[in-house]
Amino acid sequence: MRRARSGLAAYRLGLATNLANPKALVFFGALLASLLPPSPDAALRIEVMVAMLSLAAAWFALTALATSSAVVVRAYDRARTAIDRVLGTVFVGLGATLLGHS
């Protein structure tokens, strides 16, 4: 069984994980580059930043609430090995498919 983290430790781990994830930067960079005008004014930049931060905060809060109940944690602990094996197989298959197309 895992040791529970304090709220601050969990927050720091989540923040570090997200900041180290280049996919989010690439996704939002591509999204904003395709949707915003070439030279947005300061008000639009602030509106977009507030909207993105609000959506991200809401998403992560809802995800944390949905996955932190004792029932969900126990179910995940029981299924963790199976989930890792299935997803590992899927990712190897996707990698092999990509290699076959290059």
Give pLDDT tens digits for 54-96.
988 899 889 989 988 899 999 999 999 999 999 999 999 999 9
Q: Does residue 10 carry a pLDDT above 90? A: no
Query: Which pTM was predicted?
Result: 0.59
Residue 63 lies in a domain: no
pLDDT grade, residue 28 (50/70/90)?
A: confident
What is the domain extent for residue 16?
1-35
Query: What is the number of domains present in the chain?
Result: 1
How far, in Å, CA of 56 to CA of 21, rounded? 14
For residue 24, is it within any domain? yes
